[in-house]
Amino acid sequence: MATQVKKICCLGAGYVGGPTCAVIAYKCHDIDVTIVDLNDARIAAWNSDQLPIYEPGLDKIVFERRGKNLFFTTEVEQAVIEADLIFVSVNTPTKKSGLGAGFAADLAYVESATRQIADVAKSSKIVVEKSTVPCRTAESMRTILEANSNENIRFDILSNPEFLAEGTAINDLLNPDRVLIGGLQTEEGIRAQQALVEVYAHWVPKDRIITTNLWSSELSKLAANALLAQRISSINALSAICEATGADIDEVAYACGRDSRIGPKFLKASVGFGGSCFQKDILNLVYLSEQLNLPEVAAYWKQVVDLNEYQKKRFVSRVIKTLFNTITNKKIAILGFAFKKDTGDTRESAAITLCKDFIQENAKVRIYDPKVSVEQIFLDLSEPGVVDNTKYLKTRVTITKSAYEASEDADAIVITTEWDEFKELDFQKIYDQMHKPAFIFDGRLILDAEKLRNIGFRVHTIGRAEI
């Protein structure tokens, strides 16, 4: 018989912990879900009308269950003591210093969360690794937890990586392609695995709940992200060939994607992938491969990230070259700052690299994004440690309230995020208020180039030759 889970605690109220556990509360009224975080402001926001993250459909779910079987608190100890299953959903950023800096995942938050559980638990717990971690991290967690268990307390450890994508998180959680649960293949491990299967089975068909051993589960998360990012780097590499030959990347992607072995998804050329996961997780895989003395494997995956950097730089060069090899004091309207549409998240957004490069070239950058705050944009563009960088930035960067305001007197528009509202803009109005020649660089292939050319724009699209 599987243990029945009645109380869940989630350590980490971020982009994953918040939506994931809110959906569990929404679908499992018989389970109490408490999401905890060390960050007071974040928890206060989860308890307010203005949630700390923007995600379509999230408000409805949180507002419906909050205070009933969904709770947000900074009282970590109490929540851990009461829970029978604990998700560890803390951040695992790339290490900035020390061994493996720039590649390895920083596991300090995972370890401290694990120690916290070991320190305060007074009864047996199922501990679930939700964060994305290097393969075999569960072993270190188990060692820490087992060193603190006794005849009255045992800890079972599971790996349950999250596959949601930002912007579609709620739909991804409500209708997942699969849920992956890895466990030790012992009697107790399998029992713990089944307990978590039963939680998801409240709404996920059982044939979509995959159970594997711990290490396959951990590695599958890194592998899935590496494979997805590899598709984008592949299509972006082809976009460079299209620009040089007259082939059209959307047509190439469509033609290739119609092969059922390839499939149509994740073949959209862009200014480069962003987000908190792809780069971090591939670098993590590169580091793991090197640690395993597999340098050829490491080099193979590293190329996916290198190509992504190349794509961003290639796009910047195209803009500068087209604007007569200088953008000094030219006004460039940047439409979109988030790393993709339908999120306010800017982590590793290609727009950051592009804006920094334009500022380096002394351009005046006017940025509009429907969901990213002014403070966040300045934070992303500032260079830590450089004195008065913010003061300088304010002379170069203007954040506007609309795409129209951003493009006033601009020399060029650069589309960096594929927000739907950019497709609906009145481009005649925009053209009329821009310097001439008026340039548009579509880094997301969302605009009708023909229509824009008829208005008078000079249009440059990623993956298409200049006309």
Ligand X SMILES: O=c1ccn([C@@H]2O[C@H](COP(=O)(O)OP(=O)(O)O[C@H]3O[C@H](CO)[C@@H](O)[C@H](O)[C@H]3O)[C@@H](O)[C@H]2O)c(=O)[nH]1
Ligand Y SMILES: NC(=O)c1ccc[n+]([C@@H]2O[C@H](COP(=O)([O-])OP(=O)(O)OC[C@H]3O[C@@H](n4cnc5c(N)ncnc54)[C@H](O)[C@@H]3O)[C@@H](O)[C@H]2O)c1
In angstroms, the CA 336 to CA 417 distance is 4
Catalytic residue among 9, 10, 277, 355: 277
The least distance separating ligand X from the CB of residue 217, rounded to whole angstroms, comes to 14
User: CB of residue 278 vs ligand X: minimum separation in angstroms?
Assistant: 6
> Which one-letter DSSP state was computed for residue 332?
E
- Residue 195 CB burial class (10 angstroms; 0-12, 13-18, ≥19): buried
CB-nearer residue toward ligand X: 144 or 335: 335
117 closest CA partner among 89, 90, 150, 144: 144
Q: Which does 249 bind (CB under 5 to 8 A by kind): ligand X, ligand Y, none?
A: none
| Least distance (Å) between residue 279 CB and ligand X | 10
Annotated binding residues for NAD(+), written as ranges, equal 12-17, 37, 42, 90-94, 131-132, 166, 277-280, 347
In the residue annotation, 256 being an active-site residue is answered as no
Among ligand Y, ligand X, none, what does residue 220 contact (CB within 5–8 Å per kind)? none
CB-nearest residue to ligand Y: 14
Binding map of ligand X across residues 357-396, x = CB under 6 A, - = no contact = ----------------------------------------
- Cβ-count burial of 281 within 10 angstroms (0-12 exposed, 13-18 middle, 19+ buried)? buried
Question: What residues form DSSP beta bridges with 128?
Answer: 87, 158
52 binds, among ligand Y, ligand X, none (CB under 5 to 8 A by kind): none
- Select from 414, 392, 387 the least CA-distant residue to 403: 414
Return the one option of ligand X, ligand Y, none that residue 266 interacts with (CB less than 5 to 8 A, by type): ligand X
Query: Where does residue 167 fall: left (phi above 0), alpha (psi -120 to 50 degrees), or beta otherwise?
Result: left
Q: How far is the CB of 173 from ligand Y (least distance, A)?
A: 11
Return the DSSP state at 66: B
Which residues 6+ apart lie within 8 Å of 261 measured at CB?
A: none
Pairing, β 331-335 against β 155-159: unpaired
Tell me which stretch binds ligand X (CB under 6 A): 21-29, 54-62, 202-210, 263-271: 263-271
Interface with ligand X by CB under 6 A: which range of 107-115, 268-276, 300-308, 457-465?
A: 268-276
Residue positions forming the annotated binding site for substrate: 162-166, 221-225, 261, 268-274, 339-340, 444
Residue 167 one-letter amino acid = G
Single-letter code of the amino acid located at 284:
N
The site partner of 406 among ligand X, ligand Y, none (C-beta below 5 to 8 Å per kind) is none
CB of 224 to ligand Y, least distance (A): 10
DSSP per residue over 137-200, as a string?
HHHHHHHHHHTT-BTTB-EEEEE------TTSHHHHHHS-S-EEEEE-SSHHHHHHHHHHHHHH
Give min distance, CB of 76 to ligand Y, in A. Answer: 6
In the complex, minimum distance from the CB of residue 295 to ligand Y, in angstroms, rounded to a whole number: 25
Judged by CB under 6 A, the stretch of 101-109, 113-121, 163-171, 375-383 that binds ligand X is 163-171
Nearer residue to ligand X within complex by CB, 277 or 298: 277
CA distance 22 to 40: 18
Closest CA to 231 of 221, 239, 219, 220: 239
Closest CA to 334 of 405, 385, 431, 264: 405
Q: Which of residues 50-109 bind ligand X (CB under 6 A)?
A: none
Give whole-number Cα distances, 319 to 328, 453, 460, in Å.
12, 17, 9
Which window, 117-125, 161-169, 324-332, 406-414, contacts ligand X (CB under 6 A)? 161-169
Closer residue to ligand Y in complex, CB, 76/459: 76
| Distance, CA of 331 to CA of 366 (rounded, Å) | 7
Residue in 164, 282, 288, 305 binding ligand X, rule: CB under 6 A: 164
Residue appearing with tokens 């149509």: 264
Cβ count near 114 (within 10 Å): 28
Residues 322-361 that bind ligand X (CB under 6 A): 339-340
Residue 310 touching ligand X (CB under 6 A): no
29 residue type, one letter: H
Q: CB of 112: closest distance to ligand X in angstroms?
A: 21
- Using CB under 6 A, which residues numbered 277 to 306 contact ligand X? 277-278
Does 225 sit near ligand X (CB under 6 A)?
Answer: yes
315 binding ligand X? (CB under 6 A): no
Q: Is 436 exposed, middle or buried (0-12, 13-18, 19+ CB in 10 A)?
A: exposed
228 touches which of ligand X, ligand Y, none (CB within 5 to 8 A by kind)?
ligand X
Q: Which does 176 bind (CB under 5 to 8 A by kind): ligand Y, ligand X, none?
A: none
List residues binding ligand Y (CB under 6 A). Answer: 11-17, 36-39, 42, 76, 89-92, 109, 112-113, 116, 131-132, 162, 164, 166, 276-277
Residue 427 CB partners (closer than 8 Å, separation 6+): 451, 452, 455, 457
Q: Could you list the active site residues?
A: 277
Residues that bind ligand X (CB under 6 A): 132, 162-166, 225, 228, 232, 266-268, 270, 273-275, 277-278, 339-340
